[in-house]
A = this chain, B = another copy of it.
Amino acid sequence: MKYSEMSRDELLCELKEQRSLYNYYAAKKNTYDMTRGKPSNILLDLSNDMLDTKYLGDFKTKNGIDCRNYGLHDGIPEAKQLMGEIMGVDSSRVIVCGNSSLNIMYDTIMKFMQFGVNKGSKPWGKYEKVKFICPAPGYDRHFTICEALGIEMITVDLKEDGPDMDVVENLVASDNSIKGMWSVPKYSNPTGIVYSDEVIKRLARMECKAQDFRIFWDDAYAVHFLNDKPDDLLNMIEECKTAGNENRAIVFTSTSKITYAGAGIAAMASSKSNIEYISGLMFPQTIGYDKISQLRHVNYLKDYNGILNHMKKHAAILKPKFDMVINTLEEELAGLEILNWSNPKGGYFISIDTIDGLADKVVQLAKDCGVLLTPAGSTFPYKKDPRNRNIRIAPSFPEIKDLEAAIKILCVCIKICSLEYIYNQTM
């Protein structure tokens, strides 16, 4: 029965029951951490063989460069090839760096602030104001970069097929200070949605007032499917080229959630001229990133098929966790009309929307019962969810039995907050 159709007595009765259940869980004093999208130990173990020295051979790249020594500031050729396959881009338009794609994104924006987006363009830092379009719910770390750099964030709804394109098109067409936009096109963090062909085409084609507008295309979950294979999205770089905007998109990816979150390799790709420009700006920055790690990854993962096979092992571990969360939400909350949840086909998160205004209360109540969640609002610019309803669930790290316990507690918290809200509404 829908909570909203319950009488005041029924609501009170249900509230009493849920509160006693809450107290029962609270008395156990267990703690469950679902704050970050971290791989579990079992997921990490999948890549331990990579550390075997057999994957380093004689330390040399195919073209004879010793990976132990200086050089190749934009990556070894084999790693460009491998990371290019993940992003669907020719290796000549790929730069491979250290272990963190977030670091590459930050560095790229810092370079654009300092030097502009290409030779001769005005540095972003010289403008009165720089704004980014931030589809939300989104990745908190993207928003943290903007906040750190004083870039004004414009929140745009992330819908089932991508950002609300009517809004995006209107914004970029009229405002020269909008210089950038974040996107997680595949298995979006946190809702898990996938950009539709139409959205991608519209992003590639749209008229932008700012000539130095760039889309930061964070393909963090490019190969992170939960079923048989990754979804097949349109290639953003090709779409941009076709639309005559070949410098618009810069793609980022990493193996952080393929091999090791703390010791993967990360890469970027874009048009030939963007890559030449950025590689040129990187030259003063470093003589080269860790090429031993690059070589190790290439020899271990081999190629795109090798990666897909590896990711099947990930899916075999992650899928049951995702299923368990979805099934528990279904069992506990279906028909009550107090929660919407996503059912992603890949990625690292499940996103839930409570009744408007309740997310922070739910997170606090869960915390008091030992279930640690990413703070409500984190998935929005300035940590402010305008409807205060979105909560990110990160099922990857806890063991499945802990996850089940945590989600059951979370459901109780959602019920309590919803019941209190509806009860008060009926006064």
Contacts and interface: CB of A to CB of B under 8 A. Distances in A.
Nearest to A47: B68
Contacts of A261: 68-70, 287
B44 A262 contact: no
B69 A260 contact: yes
Contact of A292 (B262, B286, B289): B262
A63 interface: no
A38 B263 contact: no
Contacts of A67: 262-263
Contact of A289 (B100, B113, B141, B256): B100
A93 to B, nearest CB: 23
A154 interface: no
Give the interface centre of A39, A68, A291, A292 by most chain B CB atoms within 10 Å.
A68
What's the number of copies of this chain in the assembled complex? 2
A99 B98 contact: yes
A285 B69 contact: no
Q: Give the residue among A41, A52, A100, A290 with the most B Cβ atoms within 10 A.
A: A290
A71 B37 CA distance: 11
A114 B106 contact: no
A103 B97 CA distance: 11
Interface residues of A, number: 51
A103 B69 contact: no
A293 interface: yes
A68 B44 contact: yes
A427 interface: no
A281 B70 contact: no
A22 B164 CA distance: 73
Contacts of A53: 51-53
The secondary-structure label for the interface of chain A is loop
Given A106-B286, A285-B102, A69 B292 contact: no
A156 B287 CA distance: 26
A313 to B, nearest CB: 15
Nearest to A55: B51
Interface in A37-76: 38-39, 41, 44, 47, 51-53, 56, 59, 66-71
Nearest to A256: B70
Interface in A134-150: 141, 144-145, 147-149
A288 interface: yes
A261 B38 CA distance: 31
A276 to B, nearest CB: 16
A110 interface: yes
Given A51-B56, A70-B262, A148-B283, 8 more contacts: A38-B70, A44-B59, A69-B262, A106-B286, A110-B110, A263-B290, A263-B291, A263-B292
Interface of A: 36, 38-39, 41, 44, 47, 51-53, 56, 59, 66-71, 98-100, 102-103, 106-107, 110, 113-114, 125, 141, 144-145, 147-149, 256, 260-263, 281, 283-293
15 contacts: A44-B68, A68-B262, A68-B263, A70-B256, A99-B289, A100-B287, A102-B286, A103-B285, A103-B286, A144-B284, A261-B287, A262-B288, A262-B291, A263-B291, A263-B292
